[in-house]
Each structure stands twice: as C-alpha cells, then as structure tokens.
Amino acid sequence: MRFLDVKTDYAFKRVFGAQESVPILISFLNAVLEYEDEHRIESLKIIDPYQAPKLAGMKDTFVDVKAKLFNKKNIIIEMQVVHSKNIEQRILYNAAKQYANQLQRGEDYHLLNPVIALTLVDFTLFDEIESYLSRFQLIEKETLVKYTDDVELVFIELPKFTKTEPELLTIEDKWLYFIKHAADLSAIPQSLNEPCIVDAFSRINEAALTPDELELQQKRHAFIQIQRTGLELAEEKGEARGIGIGIEMGIEKGREEGREEGELKAKQEIAQGMLSKKLDIDLIVQLTGLTLEQVSALRSW
C-alpha cells in the first residue's frame, strides 16, 4: 500500500474535512486539544465540506477545515507547510475575523461564541519554545489572569514531534505520527490500529483514488516542493524569504542590485530539478513562471 502525504491540502482536507470525516475529526480534536470527560467533543458540524480541488490558481500553501461544535465553539484547523511571510498575523487575523463575523448588525455581544484556531505547521515557528504544542490566550502580563478564553491560538510544530513508532503511547502521539509519517509507510503499523486512524488511512490509500485524483495530489505536492525550494534558495542567497516562485509572494529583503538575476537563477534551478523528474513541461511553466522557451532551453544545460 501507498498513502498520500497528509500534510498536503488535498489529502488533509480529504481526511479531516469531508462530511463523512466527522468521527475522524472528533477523535483528532479530542486528542490534540486534550478534551476529556465533560469537555469531550461528542458531535460537531464541518463547515464547507471537502470537494476535490482544481489545479488552476494554486496560490496557497495552506488549507483549513472549519467546524462548529455543538457547545457552539468554532474551530479552525489549518495545515501550513511553507513558512510564508506574516503567517502569525494571518492566523490571528483569521481567528479574530471568525470571532467578529458571528454578529449581524445590531446583535448583542453575548451572542459571540469562542473560537479556537488550531494550526499545524511543518516547520519550526517558535524557536524559543521547546514543546511541539503551544497555546496562546489573552492574559494579564504580570499576574497571568485570563482576560477571556474566547479566542485561543493552538500551534503544533511537527518537526518538534520526534517520537518513533515504539514510543507512541497516547492517542495524541498516534495522530501526530499519522500526519507526519503516513506518506512514508507501506502498511498501517500495529501501533496505529485505532478505529478512527485506520479509517483515516483508508481515505488516503492511493489504491482507492481515481487517476485524476492521484494526478491532482501529485501536482499539489510538486507545487509545495517548489515553494519550499524557492524559499530555501532565497534564504541561502540572501535575497528574500518568500521568493515567490509562480505565486505573488514577492521579494522583501536583499540588495536591489542583482535581485532579478538571482530570482531567475532560482527558478531555473527548480525547473531543472522538475525536468529531471520528467514532469510535464506545461506544468513547469505554470508553477515556476518561466516561459516555455526558457524551460525548453534548460533541457540543453
């Protein structure tokens, strides 16, 4: 068996955002948010359920799933694979917008319900925090008295989760291992033999997908790899974080002189790597922003 990479948007939303994914999402949220006993989630409604995505307009490297618990709490679950600029501000903005948009004109503030923004990132976001799980709320600076728990930001940094299969003890361990390593597995490990996790594996089993669905996943995976490679090259050359290969991420740092030449060289290096993997030339043009002539010329390098 082969499984999709859960960290890509297509697979993530297929697992956690489909209408039939409700039991899977409940198990996952109870595990990572540590909801037990009277706080345990028993039911929820997925907002805007998963639909098969289209290739056109692949501008984002994150995906979110929104759910409303039946205690009226709102949850935004996001998977982010590229350390894009202003990610922390964007997550806070989205949570605040979700909170504020609950009220219609003239409605009273007591109708507002709490919002939890749960964000999984496939990179290190907080260098100063050792734990892979961090929670943020509004508190008084000196006494740490909580102002309100109406908006809570929860982050899971997957690189900091380093447990191996024999070390998986809790359901939280098992879910995070599933998300981080599913694409590397050829069978469901015995340690992950939990009903909801087995069901999640079935939703990303490549054998159950159509050729069109597989192609969509492969193209999304290639797109994300391009963004990552572009960012790494930009960092190495001192030009920018977020060089924006094929998307409008822009160049914020580095010297003005020689910047365009550096961006072109980064695109060419990425395109060469894609050519070596025999990816479709039209897809390379679409994702890198190079012209057909520029990509064709690379074949003779």
In DSSP notation, 85-144 reads TTHHHHHHHHHHHHHHTTPPTT--GGG---EEEEEEESS---TT--SSEEEEEEE-TTT-
What is d(CA 133, CA 160) in angstroms, rounded to the nearest whole number? Answer: 9
Nearest to 77 by CA among 160, 155, 162: 155
Q: Which sequence spans correspond to the domains of the chain?
A: 9-208, 211-298
pLDDT digits (tens, 9 = 90+) for 240-277: 334 344 434 433 433 333 456 656 776 777 777 777 76
pLDDT digits (tens, 9 = 90+) for 194-214: 999 999 999 999 887 777 777
* Euclidean distance between the first and the last CA atom of the chain, given in angstroms as a whole number: 37
pLDDT on residue 24 = 96
Looking at the DSSP assignment, which residues form a beta bridge with residue 69?
44
β-pairing, 146-157 vs 115-121, is: parallel
Low-confidence ranges of the chain (pLDDT < 70): 51-63, 216-263, 266, 277, 300-301
Q: For residues 196-210, b (16+ Cβ closer than 10 Å) or e, as one string?
A: bbeebbebbeeeebe
pLDDT on residue 257 = 38
What is d(CA 159, CA 24) in angstroms, rounded to the nearest whole number? Answer: 23
Count of CB atoms within 10 A of residue 301's CB?
8
At 88, which amino acid appears? E
pLDDT on residue 99 = 93
Helix extents (H) in the chain: 9-16, 22-32, 87-100, 171-181, 195-203, 211-237, 259-276, 281-288, 292-298
User: Packing angle between helix 259-276 and helix 281-288, nearest 10 degrees?
Assistant: 150
What is d(CA 27, CA 261) in angstroms, rounded to the nearest whole number? Answer: 49
pLDDT on residue 83 = 80
Run of H or E residues at 7: none
Run of H or E residues at 252: none
What is d(CA 248, CA 5) in angstroms, rounded to the nearest whole number? Answer: 25
Most distant CA pair in the chain, distance: 67
Place of tokens 């209408």: 19
